[in-house]
Amino acid sequence: MWVRAMTTDVSTASLLHLDAVSVAYGETVVLRDLTLSVAPGEVLAVVGPNGAGKTTLLNGIVGLASVVAGSVTYDSRNLRNMRPERAGGMGIAYVPQGRWLFPYASGTMNLWSGGYPRRDRRAVDRDVKGFLSRWPVAQRVSRRNANVMSGGEQQVVAIGRGLVAEPRLLLIDEPSLGLAPVLVEEVFRVLTEISGGLLEKNAAIILVEQNVNMALEIADHVCVLAAGEIVHDGRRGELPASQIGDLYLH
Amino acid sequence: MRFFIQLLIEGIEEGSVYALWALGYAVVYQVLGLMNFAFGDTLLLCLYLVTGLEVGFHMSPWIALALALVLAAVTSMFVERQIYSRFTNRQQLEAGFIAALACAYILRNIATAVWGQAPLAFPSFFGNSVYTIAGIKIASDGLIMLGIAIGVMALFGLYLRMTKLGRGIVLAGQDRQSAAVVGIPVRGIITVVFGVCGVVGFIGAALFANLFGGLNSTLGFYITFQAFIAATVGGAGSLAGSVVGGLLLGVIESLAVGYVSGNFAQALAWAAMAVLVLLRPRGILGRAQVERV
Ligand SMILES: Nc1ncnc2c1ncn2[C@@H]1O[C@H](COP(=O)(O)OP(=O)(O)O)[C@@H](O)[C@H]1O
Ligand SMILES: [Mg+2]
C-alpha cells in the first residue's frame, strides 16, 4: 500500500513521471518496466550504449512509439499513447536524434516551425529573431535550406526550434552525434545557455547523450539505460563519469 | 516564326491551366503520398453542376460557378475524410490509389446519371474577340484565362508562404513526421489541403471548359492524367516544378498540333513527357523525399 502512496507522491512533485512503463514498436517490446521522473527546474541525463532504448524512451513520451504498459503522467495529465502532434500544444518539445529539420526550409523557417502550436505569432517571431541574433552559427544559416547546412549548424537550428516552442519539457536526443569535437563544444555552449534560461522558468530537460562528461556538466540527475532497463539512477556526483561508463562499456 | 510564336502563346495559355491542375494534384501528393486519381472527376462533377444550375434552374452562371467552387472544396474534403483517410492512416497508399480510381468512377457516374452521357454546353463567361498584332492572332479569352491562372498561382504561392496554415502545408509536405513532432496538426492540414486543391483545380477546370465551351464525361480522367503528367515531369516534390511541367505540356501539345497533326498531338506530347521523365526521373525541379524508417 505505501509503495503506491509513495509513487503518487513522486508524480505530483514531478513534471513528468513514468511508472512501470513498457514501450514497443509494433510487436517488439524495447523498454520494460521503466520508472523515472523529472521535476521542474531539473535536467535529467539519460546515458547508455547504442541500442539501449534511449531514443525509444523519448519516442514513447511523445507518442512516436507505443506505451504498452504502465503510465506516463505529465503535468498531472495522462500521456499514454497520445498523438505526437499534441505534444507541442502541451509544452513538450522534441529535438530528435538526426535532427529532423525540414530539408527545403530555411534556418529561419525551421526555427519558426517550433513555435507552430503557440498562439502569439509576434512572440514567436521575436523569439526566432532573438535566437538568431544570440547565435552567429544560426544567423549564418538563417536563409540557407537545412539540407545544405553542416551537421553542427543543423543541430544548433534543431535546438533553437525546440527553444522557440517555449517548452516546459524539452527532450533532446544525442545532440553531439556525428559532430567534430569543436562543434560538439559549440553545441554544448548553446545547450548550457538555453538550459539555464529554461530552468529559470521552471521547465525540465531530458538530455540523451553518449558523451557522458558533457552530459554530466549540465545534468542534475543521471539515469543509465542498458538493454531496455535502468541500471543506475541517481543524482549527479553519486557516481563519477568513469564508473558510469563502466556500467555499460562491458 | 509568326506561326511558332502563335503556337507558343496558345501553348502557354493552355499550359497555365494544366499548371493549376498539376498544383492541385501535386500538393496532395506531397503532403499525403497519395496519387489522387479522383482529382479530375471531382472537378468534372462540379463543372456539370454549373451547367445544370444554369440550364435547369436558370441561375446566373456566375452564381452557379460560385456554388460549384464551394462544392469542389467540400467534395474533395469529404472524399478525403470518408474514404482516403481509411487507407492513408494505415499507410496503405496502393490501396488508397485503387480507392481513388473507384471514387473517380463513382463521381463520374453520379454526373452522367443526373445529366446524361451526351456532351453538354458550358456557359461562356467572357465574350471572345480576336486581335491581330504584328500578324499574330490573339484571342481575348485565352489571355483572360492566362491572367486568371497566373493570379491564382500567385495567390496560392502567397498563401503557402505567408499564412500559418499555408506554411504548415509546405512543412508537412517536406516531412510529415517532423511536422507532427513540432505540433503541426497534420491530420487537419491534410483535409485543408484537399479543400484548397479542389478550389485551385476547379478554377483551372472551369477556365478550360469555358475556353472549349463544352463538357463531356471523359474530361475528368483527362484532367487527372494531364495533372499527373505535368506534376511528374515538373517534379512532384516541388510546386514550381508543377507550374513548369504544366506550361511545358501545354507548349509541346500546341507545337504538336501546329506542326504535326491534331490527331497525334496528345500522344506525341505524352510520349515527349515520358522521355523527359526518363531523362530526369525526379522531374525537372524535383528533389529527394525524406525517407525515415
Ligand atoms: N522503429 C523501430 N522498430 C522496431 N525496433 C526498433 C525501432 N527503432 C529502434 N528499434 C530497436 O529498439 C532498440 C532500441 O533502439 P533505440 O531506442 O534507438 O536505442 P538508442 O537510442 O539507445 O541507441 C534497438 O534494438 C532497435 O533495434
Ligand atoms: Mg538513439
Q: Rounded to whole angstroms, how far apart are CA atoms B237 and A212?
A: 40
Q: Atom 27, ligand 1: which residue's CA is nearest?
A: A51
Ligand 1 center–CA A24 separation, angstroms? 9
B174 contacts: CB under 8 Å, gap ≥ 6: A102, A103, A104, A105, B290
Instruction: Note whether residue A10 is domain-resident.
Output: no
Q: Which three cell numbers stand for residue A43?
A: 535536467
Instruction: Note whether residue A189 is domain-resident.
Output: yes
pLDDT digits (tens, 9 = 90+) for A7-54: 444 444 789 999 999 999 999 999 999 999 999 999 999 999 999 999
User: Which ligand 1 atom is nearest residue A54's CA?
Assistant: 22
Residues of A in contact with B184 (CB under 8 A): 85, 88, 113, 116
Ligand 2 center–CA A179 separation, angstroms? 15
Residue A9: what pLDDT? 47
A67, β-bridge pairs: A23
- With CB atoms and an 8 Å threshold, state whether B183 touches A161: no
pLDDT digits (tens, 9 = 90+) for A209-245: 988 888 888 899 999 998 888 888 888 777 776 777 6
pLDDT digits (tens, 9 = 90+) for A128-142: 999 999 999 999 999
Q: Which three cell numbers stand for residue B137?
A: 492572332
What is the biggest distance separating any 2 CA atoms in chain A, rounded to whole angstroms? 58
Residue A138: what pLDDT? 94
Residues of A in contact with B174 (CB under 8 A): 102-105
User: Which ligand 1 atom is nearest residue A56's CA?
Assistant: 17
Q: Give the number of domains in chain A.
A: 1
Q: Rounded to whole angstroms, how far apart are CA atoms A63 and B236?
A: 30
Average pLDDT across each block of 10 residues of chain B; the chain has 293 residues. List them in order.
91 96 95 93 96 90 94 96 89 91 95 92 85 85 93 96 95 94 94 96 96 92 96 87 95 93 88 90 80 59
Q: Which three cell numbers stand for residue A56?
A: 525509444
Instruction: Note whether residue A1 is domain-resident.
Output: no
Q: Which domain holds residue A56?
A: 16-249
Residue A213: what pLDDT? 85
Instruction: Note whether residue A8 is domain-resident.
Output: no
Q: Which three cell numbers stand for residue B86?
A: 481509411
Ligand 1 center–CA A30 separation, angstroms? 7
In the block, residue with C-alpha cell 545534468? A219
Instruction: Note whether residue A140 is domain-resident.
Output: yes
Q: Which three cell numbers stand for residue A76?
A: 498531472
Residues of B in contact with A64 (CB under 8 A): 177, 181
Run of H or E including B201:
helix B186-212
For B175, the closest chain A residue by CA position comes to A102
Cα dihedral value A72, A164, A151, A183, nearest 10: -100
Instruction: Note whether residue A227 is domain-resident.
Output: yes
Mean pLDDT of chain A: 89
Ligand 1 center–CA B34 separation, angstroms? 28
For A83, the closest chain B residue by CA position comes to B180
Considering CB atoms only, which of A103, A109, A117 is closest to B183?
A: A117
Instruction: Note whether residue A3 is domain-resident.
Output: no
Judge residue B1's burial from the number of C-beta atoms within 10 Å of its C-beta, 0-12 exposed, 13-18 middle, 19 or more buried. exposed
Closest-CA distance of chain B to residue A94, Å: 7
Q: Which three cell numbers stand for residue B292?
A: 525515415
Plot region of A133 (φ>0 → left; ψ -120 to 50 → alpha; else → beta): alpha
| A179 and A149 Cβ atoms separated by less than 8 Å | no
CATH of the domain at A77: 3.40.50.300
Q: Which domains does chain B have, with CATH numbers?
A: 2-279 (1.10.3470)
| B68 and B50 Cβ atoms separated by less than 8 Å | yes
Query: In this structure, which ligand is nearest to the CA of A51?
Result: 1
